[in-house]
């Protein structure tokens, strides 16, 4: 036993605002991701913290603002990861594949973030809308995609009429679905999309898909369109 009965005053400071705040955010992230916004319990978050519920209201104001703060930090993490992306030395095909792989990995490594995004969508992204911080975050990944696309299109490797935001949506779709819908998909089709043994397979599949789309010759006639002649 390090100390008798009093709370263990481990690292000198017993009053550390930044530390308390960060710990609340950590626990709240897990709790919101676990149970959803309405399913999460403020008392439960407090209980798993070394501080009390009072502090949650002291630092964040309320449950709603706490959730917004959780979202802001979660999006901040992905933003930082995207900023570290460096694919300028690669040729367009390899660069896109690398980008897809990084996106794939990031989604897999942050299932809580995926859940928070799902939850926020159930609430019509009203917390993002209310947050000034999140309004002007702007994905760095988009700039990367734009640069790669331009290079690929100028060299004639890529189809010309592909938009960066659309491509980002396409890559994210696959990565997001795999993690977000893991449970229903597994229950209905008997296949775990996040099975470690299948990881390399799905990672390659995503890259193949994106490259195939970008390098394919677009056929002019499409089923569903009327003007065939």
Partner DNA sequence: TGACTAACGTACCGGTTCGTACATTAGCGG
Partner DNA sequence: CCGCTAATGTACGAACCGGTACGTTAGTCA
Alpha-carbon distance of 163 to 144, in angstroms, equals 13
Burial 165-193 (b: 16+ CB within 10 A, else e): eebbebbbebbbebbbebeebeeeeeeeb
Residue of the chain from 25, 27, 33, 40 that contacts DNA (CB under 7 A): 40
Alpha-carbon distance of 135 to 220, in angstroms, equals 39
**58/202 with CB nearer DNA:** 58
**Angle of CA points 120, 122, 128, to nearest 5°:** 30
Segment interacting with a copy of itself (CB under 8 A) among 12-20, 59-67, 149-157, 212-220? 212-220
Residue 53 touches which of DNA, a copy of itself, none (Cβ within 5-8 Å per kind): DNA
Q: What is the DSSP letter of 51?
A: S
Q: From the CB of 222, what's the least distance to a copy of itself, in Å?
A: 6
From residue 38 to residue 77, the character string flagging contacts with a copy of itself as x (rule: CB under 8 A) and all else as - is xx-----------------------------------x--
- Residue recorded with tokens 């300028």: 88
* Contact between 78 and 113 (Cβ < 8 Å): yes
Residues 3-32, interacting with a copy of itself (CB under 8 A): none
Query: What six digits make up the tokens of 132?
Result: 């000034």
Count interface residues toward DNA (CB under 7 A).
22
Residues 87-116, interacting with a copy of itself (CB under 8 A): 90, 94, 97-98, 101, 115
Alpha-carbon distance of 141 to 4, in angstroms, equals 52
**48/106 with CB nearer DNA:** 48
**38/154 with CB nearer a copy of itself:** 38
* Contact between 73 and 41 (Cβ < 8 Å): no
- Residue recorded with tokens 């008997």: 190
First to last CA, the chain: 84
By CB under 7 A, is residue 165 in contact with DNA? no
Residue of the chain from 83, 135, 160, 195 that contacts a copy of itself (CB under 8 A): 135
From residue 159 to residue 198, the character string flagging contacts with a copy of itself as x (rule: CB under 8 A) and all else as - is ------xx-xxx-xxx-xxx-xxxxxxxxxx-x-x-----
Alpha helix positions (H), 40-139: 42-47, 53-59, 63-83, 92-109, 111-122, 126-130, 132-135
Where on the chain is the footprint of a copy of itself (CB under 8 A)? 35-39, 75, 90, 94, 97-98, 101, 115, 117-125, 128-129, 134-135, 137-139, 142, 165-166, 168-170, 172-174, 176-178, 180-189, 191, 193, 202-205, 207-209, 211-213, 215-216, 218-219, 222-224
Where on the chain is the footprint of DNA (CB under 7 A)? 13-17, 19-20, 40-43, 50-55, 57-58, 62-64
């Amino acid at each position: 036993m390090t100390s008798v009965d009093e709370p263990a005053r481990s690292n000198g400071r017993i009053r550390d605002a930044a530390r308390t705040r960060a710990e609340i955010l950590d626990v709240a992230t897990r709790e919101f991701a676990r149970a959803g916004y309405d399913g999460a319990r403020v008392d439960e978050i407090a209980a798993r913290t070394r501080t009390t519920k009072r502090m949650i209201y002291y630092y964040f104001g309320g449950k709603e603002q706490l959730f917004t703060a959780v979202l802001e930090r979660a999006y901040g993490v992905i933003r930082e990861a995207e900023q570290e992306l460096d694919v300028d030395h690669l040729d367009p095909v390899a660069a896109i594949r690398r980008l897809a792989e990084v996106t794939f990995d990031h989604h897999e490594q942050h299932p809580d973030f995926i859940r928070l995004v799902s939850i926020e969508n159930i609430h019509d992204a009203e917390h993002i809308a209310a947050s000034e911080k999140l309004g002007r975050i702007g994905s760095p990944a988009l700039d990367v995609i734009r640069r790669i696309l331009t290079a690929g299109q100028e060299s004639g490797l890529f189809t010309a009429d592909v938009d960066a935001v659309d491509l980002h949506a396409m890559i994210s779709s696959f990565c997001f679905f795999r993690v977000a819908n893991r449970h229903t998909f597994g229950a209905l089709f008997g296949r775990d999309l996040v099975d470690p043994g299948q990881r390399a397979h799905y990672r390659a599949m995503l890259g193949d898909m994106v490259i195939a789309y970008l390098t394919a010759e677009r056929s002019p006639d499409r089923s569903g369109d009327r003007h065939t002649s």
